[in-house]
Amino acid sequence: MDMVPNKRILLRQFATGTPDETDMELSVGKVSLRVPPGSGAILVKNLYLSCDPYMRGRMREYYGSYIPPFVPGSVIEGFGVCKVVDSEDPYYKPGDLISGLTGWEEYSLIEQTKQWRKIQFEDIPLSYHLGLLGMPGFTAYAGFYEVCAPKKGESVFVSAASGAVGQLVGQLAKLHGCFVVGSAGTKQKVDLLKNKLGFDEAFNYKEEPNLDAALKRYFPLGIDIYFDNVGGVMLDAALLNMRLFGRIAVCGMVSQTSLPSSVGIHNLNMLIFKRIRMQGFLQSDYLHLFPEFTEKIIEYYKQGKIVYIEDMSEGIESAPSSFVGLFSGKNIGKQVIRVASE
Amino acid sequence: MDMVPNKRILLRQFATGTPDETDMELSVGKVSLRVPPGSGAILVKNLYLSCDPYMRGRMREYYGSYIPPFVPGSVIEGFGVCKVVDSEDPYYKPGDLISGLTGWEEYSLIEQTKQWRKIQFEDIPLSYHLGLLGMPGFTAYAGFYEVCAPKKGESVFVSAASGAVGQLVGQLAKLHGCFVVGSAGTKQKVDLLKNKLGFDEAFNYKEEPNLDAALKRYFPLGIDIYFDNVGGVMLDAALLNMRLFGRIAVCGMVSQTSLPSSVGIHNLNMLIFKRIRMQGFLQSDYLHLFPEFTEKIIEYYKQGKIVYIEDMSEGIESAPSSFVGLFSGKNIGKQVIRVASE
């Protein structure tokens, strides 16, 4: 029957406040490496798993979001890069490298194969399909070009700028001819932004007693585009510094995700004074652009115009602590878990 | 020298909190009814003056808005319908009826004549050029069609719905084939909305202990378009009830205008979950549409498809109390001051 042990990370309970490692638990199950005949499913070996802040939203019992909660007692779900072990779907063959929504476990049986993608660009690190070429990278791409509607010469502010999304937003903005400033939470990240990711300026928000004053220092003429990954007090300060007809792409509110009650935003009157467009978005609404995104980013990457920083942890056992680390800013760059060698 | 007495309303001091009549004062000056030769100016008799909530913003010492503060000790400025008494501008002749930004006084010397409009439609009440056919009406028109991007069959919520702007938004939305619900602050206004202005439903927000629940009652499937005239807790409740790809036109925040610190908005995460576009706007950014607006609204009005409710006070002396009344919702419909008969 080809049954093998399968280490898995289960959601133990819905999280309250900042997620804690104890909200998850390691369990060892068994899995058959054969797909039930005629099922149309595939069986994959998970090579890399992605830790993304949006997953915090699935750790609460709330059904009004774009994606349902995880089920306590069940395997956590997330994006992965995987190798096909067995397939009853004619499109996939054993050995294929593919990416899609998988389980936080060593092997997963995938019954819904439609949203998966085959990986065809093998001269790029496989794990990049979870970041640069995956959901976060595409979030940066769709958010920047489609939501921010950037013009050459505009001033762009990116929060959580060294994160999975922010680092690409900043680089795309530079390639577009914008002036780009990023905020992050450690000196090391600020250095990366300035010295490796090509931001014009960067600052450590934790060292700024007055975010409004900090933004005024970096943007004396104001901000045309704010790519918001954090919400909260940074959003409120950015609102005070927007220019006429500015745009705010609301990508995430990681500063608020774990609070029982969010920080109130007080400066929305600026939307009127400055005629600002503030827009929430999800990359999944722009999937028709995915092929052009892939092509363009791969070209930039091969030309050396874009770099991508990853934070790689080793082994499925490291998944809970890696995930929890996102919310204290422990990760530097895109957080990935290496589950297995190819 | 043709000097005549000129009753004027001065700003005595910047307002703190809700504007008070004592922030203004009546003064009697003198004015020459002759324009200085060669000045290019015009001298007008003010017939109707407009009380608009945005004017509260000019009663504080804040320079970051789209319009500078009033000057304490000087005449308050606002929209008016006026008759030309004397003119050194060849475009205007004595006797012309015109509308534009004038002073809260009986006669005004207008040096900047470019932003003024001649009134050509004399079978419509003159005062309507301050409301239905003026800045508030055009705000409704530009905001609804350009910012809200409405589609037939969508669900529209309008706050301050019987006000100068809201009453037209609701009627335009009905003409567009939308389902329209309005909120207002008295039973009388709610009755007007339902029985005279053609809203599908209306409610008195002061009688709703839970605005979220009220909106869920009227919009069980959610809101596609929220035309926000009030901000604050109503905005927060509306955010919870928006549908996917909803739009919020941020027209005004009259509930917040007078607060030393605004009420915090807590539900902006809905912008992401529901991919909402929230946009501040000013009618003055859409002036290229003014001719089509005038034509369309006059046609609707003459066809009896649109009505417009005004609250008229008598005499320049009534201006301060009329203005202050806006902030307690005393006015029913567009607040106008009749200064003189034509």
pLDDT in tens, A141-199: 999 999 999 999 999 999 999 999 999 999 999 999 999 999 999 999 999 999 999 99
B68 three-class SS: coil
| A260 part of contact set with chain B, CB < 8 Å | no
CA distance B46 to B342: 9
Cα nearest neighbour of A259 on chain B: B266
Q: What pLDDT, on the 0 to 100 scale, is given for residue A244? A: 96
User: How buried is A121 (Cβ within 10 angstroms: 0-12 exposed, 13-18 middle, 19+ buried)?
Assistant: middle
Yes or no, beta carbons of B261 and A266 under 8 Å apart: yes
Chain A neighbors of B262, CB-CB under 8 A:
266-269
Q: What pLDDT, on the 0 to 100 scale, is given for residue A261? A: 72
For a pLDDT cut of 70, what percent of chain B falls above it?
98
What ipTM was reported for this prediction? 0.92
| A63 part of contact set with chain B, CB < 8 Å | no
Q: What is the DSSP letter of A264?
A: P
CA distance A42 to A89: 7
Yes or no, beta carbons of A273 and B235 under 8 Å apart: no
Yes or no, beta carbons of A272 and B253 under 8 Å apart: yes
Question: pLDDT per residue over A55-71, tens digit each?
Answer: 999 999 888 778 899 99
| A284 part of contact set with chain B, CB < 8 Å | no
Q: What pLDDT, on the 0 to 100 scale, is given for residue B130? A: 97
Q: What pLDDT, on the 0 to 100 scale, is given for residue A222? A: 98
Q: What pLDDT, on the 0 to 100 scale, is given for residue A314? A: 97
Tell me the average pLDDT across A203-227. Answer: 98
Å between B289 CA and nearest CA of chain A: 17
Pull the structure tokens for residue A132.
Answer: 């640069």
Chain A neighbors of B273, CB-CB under 8 A:
64-66, 280
Yes or no, beta carbons of A280 and B276 under 8 Å apart: yes
Asked whether residue B171 carries a pLDDT value surpassing 80, the answer given is yes
Cα nearest neighbour of A284 on chain B: B275
Q: Which of A123-127, A224-228, B13-17 has the highest mean pLDDT?
A: A224-228
Closest CA to B75 of B48, B49, B46, B104: B104
| A264 part of contact set with chain B, CB < 8 Å | yes
Asked whether residue B92 carries a pLDDT value surpassing 90, the answer given is yes
Q: What pLDDT, on the 0 to 100 scale, is given for residue A256? A: 78
Tell me the average pLDDT across B165-170. Answer: 98
Which of A271, A274, A282, A286 should one mutate to test binding to chain B, selecting the residue with the greatest count of B CBs within 10 A?
Answer: A271
CA distance A288 to B265: 33
Q: Which residues pair with A10 in a beta bridge?
A: A25, A75
- Rounded to the nearest 10°, the torsion over CA B105, B109, B110, B116 is 60
Question: Are B250 and B280 a contacting pair, CB within 8 Å?
Answer: yes
Catalogue the E-assigned strands of B51-200. Answer: 77-87, 97-103, 107-110, 117-118, 155-158, 179-184
CA angle A163, A73, A13 (to 5 degrees): 60
Question: Are B65 and B50 a contacting pair, CB within 8 Å?
Answer: no
Q: What pLDDT, on the 0 to 100 scale, is given for residue B304? A: 95
Tell me the average pLDDT across B30-45. Answer: 95
| A169 part of contact set with chain B, CB < 8 Å | no
Asked whether residue A258 carries a pLDDT value surpassing 70, the answer given is no
- Nearest-CB residue to B278 (from A231, A256, A278): A278
Tell me the average pLDDT across B83-96. Answer: 96
Q: Which residues pair with A103 in a beta bridge?
A: A77
pLDDT interval class at B123 (50, 70, 90): confident
**What is the widest separation between alpha-carbon atoms in chain A?**
68
Q: Which residue type, as a one-letter code, is found at position B80?
A: G
Q: What pLDDT, on the 0 to 100 scale, is given for residue B66? A: 81
Average pLDDT, chain B: 95
Asked whether residue B96 carries a pLDDT value surpassing 90, the answer given is yes
Asked whether residue B301 carries a pLDDT value surpassing 70, the answer given is yes
Å between A115 CA and nearest CA of chain B: 20
Q: What pLDDT, on the 0 to 100 scale, is given for residue B1? A: 59
Q: What pLDDT, on the 0 to 100 scale, is given for residue B258? A: 67
CA distance B113 to B90: 11
Chain B neighbors of A269, CB-CB under 8 A:
231, 253, 256, 262
